């Protein structure tokens, strides 16, 4: 009966809690509906206030324009007057539509407003007419006596009345929202407390039910123990103890070496006289004469006498002692190891764990053993270490194991630790298998690696800015900008300049290695002709070979079936540059470096053969390691860093290829790399062409613009606006799709959204600018207003700003001059350039570099200074560093875009390609909002005035 009552109470409690939660949900829905209604009312009031302010702004424009014309007589001052006249009636009608159904402002208010506006317009028109016909003095006299300011006061009073009425309505709405919210919070708190009480009552009922069941179970176990007493007495040596405490042997056929009754009688009498009747009367007894150990049990029969059983356990006791010794030995061995060691069975119980694991949980080994993980207080800490145990136990074979390189978990003190985990099955029997786990603590090693990576990255980045100043200053001195250099100083300057270039290469190599290890180096894979890429690499490095007196030869096989492979062309060019430069540096003067292309099974093999001394045998095993150099002194003379081959191997592996070498002492070395060939079916399958929108035929020569915009509706509207200006368009909604279209079409311009979904917009822009083919492709950052269907008017709005180039620190001064000269062709007047850079030396250096040009260079060290300069004067070009003391350089884009037209931008930074989780990102940078027609005209203007470059669109697909 109590169990049934407990079950009934907890069911009632659960039902009541469910009903109360449903009531809270219903009340929450009512509160939400009330808040939504209040929000709509607030939005309507804000729209009315906006319309009132717009009417007053139009009246102010009319008054400002008329007074400006009266004072100056200049017709251009009438532009605000005429704009105010055009906007006034529309704003007035908008206000009338918005207040329909309201008691105020009513029809009489509008009549008073219209009459006063008419009088004010009549006064303004009369003043303008008087100025035109009678001159300034008469107009001023009429302005003084016409009473215009009184009319404006009346208009201000009328409009302020409406605004104050709406603001009072807003205050009332806010108070209603506060009351509703307070009531909802109060009800939610009360309901939550009640639900908690009901759940506690249900929990108490369940606990009570469990206690009753446990009592019943104990009673059943006692009965079972009484009934099984005879079964527990194994008839090794049986003795009977009668009521008179006389002991007799009742074993049939007395076993050999059985203790005689008189020898065991004292022990049985002692057991019989124990006062605890409920306890099992048992004792281990050692017979003195035979030195044998017996386990003696005495049990009542229920008839007034007792039954005794003596079992010989001599061998069992020796086994127990040996097992205990082995357990102690194993315990001391595993506790000595600092690694985490534990064994679990198929049920998940811990059969063994060492002190290291127990310390991780803040417990002792005996508190963990023989318990499952979910029975431990800190079981959630162990979950990362337990993953895979069940699967490994089920699929266990002789050599199976499970290795995990890195597992992160938090110990009982809250400290994060990293482990390398190895799991192996421990087969006890054909049907029993345990799992042994050893977790090696690698936290210190991981922290050291992380510190090393952060140190390399930070130091390399911090070195780039001063290197730009050093490299630029040395280049300018060598170029003669500081005057004639003496013969004694010129070699010293040459040494400094050469070593600064070597330091640049070292920093870039270190950063490449760091990005490859961290997985942050971007790859743009595609199908490319390796033969053409090899020929381009040979062409690019020919001047370098001439400096060493080494010629280059391409052993091309015209009968090669195909030379196409899937790779990243830029990374492949980097691989070829490293291999060819190594071959040139290690070839003697007058030697020849040969490059061959051939098939090797399903792979395309590229071989680079030099005529150098070969690779020493002792150095071959570590040739692809970082900073590995066979002769470090010789490498320093040749300008090597010891990182080129390590980077090359990582790049080839990332492109799913292989790299190796063959070398003979005195006969040179041949480095080869193999890339997977495209299958014939894949190579022969044509890609479906994407027809540009807005072109009538393939012969149409309209400028093709690629629109990269994730909002499909906004992209279509922008494309339609561009079509009206004679442009053809392609639309891509993701960065990967845009790269495919760039490869397949001759795109003359690109509009880039600042909010891509699949890639960071800054990373995409930097990646595009780092490629030679797209260095001068016009790229416009176009921010479009998202097209929402619920409350939008459906009209396209947005803004645009052009990014000319992305220049990396340290920068080649000739590259800076090349870009700036191209940008200076934008206008005939003396151009003005804004240089935003926090390093004073770099600002001075750029000023000296362009001192020969007829330009005005204005510098700013912070975002605040740059914003003030942009607001004070227009600029023809902006050179912006991304990382500034008070923010990011990209934050200036919105203010630059407000200029008409916005100046082009050159990004000048020491940053590499930003990763996805970097804090640097293009947000909604262009905040100026133009309608679709204005935005199309702005894009047309930017493209028509884009500075010419040395890379034409045809080169993109050469």
Q: Within 13 Å of residue 509, how many CA atoms lie on the same side as its CB?
A: 22
745 three-state secondary structure: coil
Give me the CATH code for the 526-683 domain, please. 3.30.565.10
CA–CA gap between residue 380 and residue 374 (Å, rounded): 8
Burial class (CB in 10 A: 0-12, 13-18, 19+), 472: buried
Q: What angle do CA 171, 175, 179 make, to 5 degrees?
A: 170
Phi-psi category of 519—alpha, beta or left, where left has phi over 0 and alpha has psi -120 to 50? Answer: left
CA–CA gap between residue 468 and residue 843 (Å, rounded): 11
The tens digit of pLDDT for each residue in 395-423 reads 655 557 788 888 888 877 778 888 988 88
CA–CA gap between residue 391 and residue 384 (Å, rounded): 15
The secondary structure of residue 530, as a DSSP letter, is H
Instruction: Say which CATH topology domain 704-956 has.
Output: Rossmann fold (3.40.50)
The tens digit of pLDDT for each residue in 630-668 reads 554 454 455 556 677 888 888 898 888 999 888 888 788
Instruction: Say which CATH topology domain 318-441 has.
Output: Beta-Lactamase (3.30.450)
CA–CA gap between residue 204 and residue 254 (Å, rounded): 59
Domain 2-200 indexed as CATH 1.10.10.10:
no
Q: What is the predicted pLDDT for the residue at 912?
A: 54
CA–CA gap between residue 708 and residue 691 (Å, rounded): 16
Give the chain's length: 958
The tens digit of pLDDT for each residue in 762-800 reads 778 777 776 767 777 888 777 765 544 444 445 555 555
The tens digit of pLDDT for each residue in 462-501 reads 777 777 777 777 777 777 766 777 777 778 877 887 777 7
Instruction: Say which CATH topology domain 231-312 has.
Output: Beta-Lactamase (3.30.450)
For CATH 3.30.450.20, the residue range(s) in the chain are 318-441
345 three-state secondary structure: coil
Determine phi and psi for 666, rounding to 5 degrees: 80, -5
Reference 466, options 839, 907, 740, 25; nearest CA is 839
CA–CA gap between residue 837 and residue 861 (Å, rounded): 5
For CATH 1.20.120.1730, the residue range(s) in the chain are 2-200
CA–CA gap between residue 323 and residue 637 (Å, rounded): 70
CA–CA gap between residue 397 and residue 402 (Å, rounded): 12
**Other CB atoms within 10 Å distance of the CB of residue 30:** 12
Q: What is the predicted pLDDT for the residue at 636?
A: 45
CA–CA gap between residue 474 and residue 501 (Å, rounded): 11
Determine phi and psi for 565, rounding to 5 degrees: -150, 165
Question: What's 811-845 look like in SS3?
Answer: CCHHHHHHHHHHHHHHCCCCCEEEEECCCHHHHHH
Q: Checking DSSP bridges between strand 551-555 and strand 592-600, what pairing results, if any? A: parallel
Distance of CA 222 to the CA centre of its chain: 64
Contact 888, 882 (CB under 8 A): yes
What DSSP string describes 430-496? Answer: TTEEEEEEEEEE-HHHHHHHHHHHHHHHHHHHHHHHHHHHHHHHHHHHHTTTTSPPPTTHHHHHHHH
**Sites in the chain below the pLDDT cut of 50:** 1-6, 227-228, 230-233, 254, 632-633, 635-636, 679-688, 695-700, 787-793, 826, 913-930, 950-958
Reference 154, options 131, 127, 123; nearest CA is 123
Q: Which CATH class is domain 446-518?
A: mainly alpha
For CATH 3.30.565.10, the residue range(s) in the chain are 526-683
Q: What is the predicted pLDDT for the residue at 62?
A: 87
What does each C-alpha distance from 592 to 260, 549, 612, 880 come to in angstroms? 107, 9, 10, 45
Torsion from C-alpha of 375, 378, 384, 389, nearest 10 degrees: -20
Contact 353, 360 (CB under 8 A): no
């Amino acid at each position: 009966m109590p169990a049934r009552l407990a079950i009934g109470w907890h069911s009632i409690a659960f039902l009541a809690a469910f009903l109360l939660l449903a009531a809270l949900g219903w009340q929450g829905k009512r509160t939400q509906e009330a808040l939504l209604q209040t929000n709509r009312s607030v939005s309507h009031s804000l729209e009315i206030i906006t319309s009132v302010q717009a009417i007053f702004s139009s009246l102010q424009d009319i008054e400002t324009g008329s007074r400006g014309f009266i004072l100056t007589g200049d017709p251009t001052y009438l532009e605000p007057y005429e704009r105010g006249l055009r906007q006034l009636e529309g704003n007035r009608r908008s206000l009338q539509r918005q207040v329909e159904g309201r008691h105020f402002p009513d029809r009489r208010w509008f009549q008073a407003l219209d009459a006063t506006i008419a009088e004010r317009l009549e006064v303004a028109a009369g003043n303008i007419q008087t100025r035109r016909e009678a001159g300034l003095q008469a107009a001023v006299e009429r302005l003084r006596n016409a009473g215009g300011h009184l009319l404006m006061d009346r208009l201000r009073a009328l409009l302020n009345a409406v605004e104050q009425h709406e603001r009072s309505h807003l205050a009332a709405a806010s108070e209603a929202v506060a009351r509703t919210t307070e009531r909802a919070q109060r009800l939610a708190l009360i309901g939550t407390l009640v639900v908690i009480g009901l759940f506690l009552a249900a929990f108490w009922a369940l606990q009570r039910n469990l206690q009753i069941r446990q009592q019943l179970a104990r009673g059943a176990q006692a009965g079972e123990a009484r009934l099984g007493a005879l079964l527990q007495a194994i008839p090794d040596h049986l003795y009977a103890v009668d009521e008179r405490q006389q002991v007799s042997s009742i074993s049939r056929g007395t076993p050999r070496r059985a203790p005689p009754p008189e020898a065991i009688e004292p022990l049985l009498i002692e057991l019989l006289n124990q006062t605890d009747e409920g306890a099992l009367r048992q004792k281990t007894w050692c017979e003195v004469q035979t030195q044998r150990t017996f386990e003696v049990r005495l049990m009542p029969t229920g008839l007034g006498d007792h039954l005794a059983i003596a079992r010989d356990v001599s061998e069992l006791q020796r086994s127990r002692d040996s097992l205990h010794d082995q357990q102690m030995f194993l315990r001391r061995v595993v506790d000595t190891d600092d690694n985490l060691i534990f064994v679990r069975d198929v049920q998940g119980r811990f059969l063994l764990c060492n002190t290291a694991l127990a310390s991780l949980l803040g417990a002792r080994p005996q508190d963990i053993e023989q318990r499952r993980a979910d029975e431990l207080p800190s079981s959630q800490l162990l979950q990362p270490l337990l993953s895979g145990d069940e699967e490994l136990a089920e699929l266990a074979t002789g050599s199976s194991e499970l290795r995990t390189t890195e597992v992160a978990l938090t110990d009982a003190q809250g400290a994060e630790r990293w482990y390398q985990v190895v799991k192996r099955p421990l087969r006890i029997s054909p049907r029993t298998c345990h799992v042994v786990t050893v977790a090696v603590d690698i936290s210190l090693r991981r922290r050291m690696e992380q510190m090393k990576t952060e140190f390399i990255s930070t130091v390399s980045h911090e070195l780039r800015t001063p290197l730009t100043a050093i490299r630029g200053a040395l280049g300018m001195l060598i170029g003669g900008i500081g005057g004639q250099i003496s013969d004694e100083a010129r070699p010293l300057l040459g040494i400094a300049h050469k070593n600064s270039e070597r330091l640049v290469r070292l920093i870039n190599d270190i950063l490449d290695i760091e990005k490859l290890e961290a997985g942050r180096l971007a790859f743009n894979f595609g199908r490319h002709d390796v033969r053409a890429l090899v020929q381009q690499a040979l062409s690019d490095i020919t001047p370098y070979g001439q400096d060493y007196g080494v010629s280059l030869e391409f052993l091309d096989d015209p009968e090669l079936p195909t030379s196409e492979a899937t790779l990243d062309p830029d990374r492949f060019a980097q691989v070829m540059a490293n291999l060819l430069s190594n071959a040139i540096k290690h070839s003697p003067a007058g030697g020849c470096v040969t490059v061959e292309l051939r098939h090797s099974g399903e792979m395309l093999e590229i071989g680079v053969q030099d005529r150098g001394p070969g690779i020493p045998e002792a150095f071959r095993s570590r040739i692809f390691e970082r900073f590995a150099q066979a002769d470090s002194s010789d490498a320093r003379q040749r300008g090597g860093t010891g990182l080129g081959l390590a980077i090359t191997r990582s790049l080839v592996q990332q492109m799913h290829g292989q790299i190796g070498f063959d070398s003979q002492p005195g006969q040179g070395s041949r480095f080869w790399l193999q890339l997977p060939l495209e299958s014939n079916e894949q190579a022969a399958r044509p890609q479906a062409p994407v027809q540009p929108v807005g072109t009538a035929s393939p012969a149409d020569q309209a400028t093709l613009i690629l629109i990269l915009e994730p909002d499909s509706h906004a992209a279509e509207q922008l494309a339609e606006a561009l079509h009206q200006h004679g442009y053809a368009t392609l639309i891509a909604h993701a960065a990967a799709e845009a790269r495919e279209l760039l490869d397949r079409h001759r795109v003359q311009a690109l509009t880039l959204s600042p909010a891509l979904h699949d890639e960071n917009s800054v990373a995409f822009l930097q990646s595009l600018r780092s490629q030679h083919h797209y260095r001068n492709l016009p790229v416009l950052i176009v921010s479009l207003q998202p097209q929402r269907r619920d409350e939008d008017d459906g009209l396209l709005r947005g803004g645009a700003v052009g990014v000319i180039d992305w220049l990396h620190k340290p920068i080649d001064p000739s590259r800076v001059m090349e870009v700036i000269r191209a940008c200076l062709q934008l206008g005939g007047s003396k151009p003005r350039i804004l240089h935003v850079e926090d390093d004073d030396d770099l600002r001075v250096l750029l000023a000296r570099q362009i001192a020969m040009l007829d330009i005005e260079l204005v510098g700013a060290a912070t975002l605040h200074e740059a914003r003030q300069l942009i607001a004070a004067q227009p600029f023809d070009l902006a050179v912006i560093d991304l990382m500034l003391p008070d923010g990011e350089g990209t934050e200036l884009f919105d203010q630059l875009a407000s200029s008409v037209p916005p100046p082009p931008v050159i990004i000048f930074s020491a940053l590499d390609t930003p990763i996805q989780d970097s804090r640097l990102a293009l947000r909604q940078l262009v905040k100026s909002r133009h309608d679709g027609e204005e935005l199309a005209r702005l894009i047309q203007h930017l493209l028509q005035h884009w500075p010419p470059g040395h890379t034409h669109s045809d080169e993109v697909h050469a």
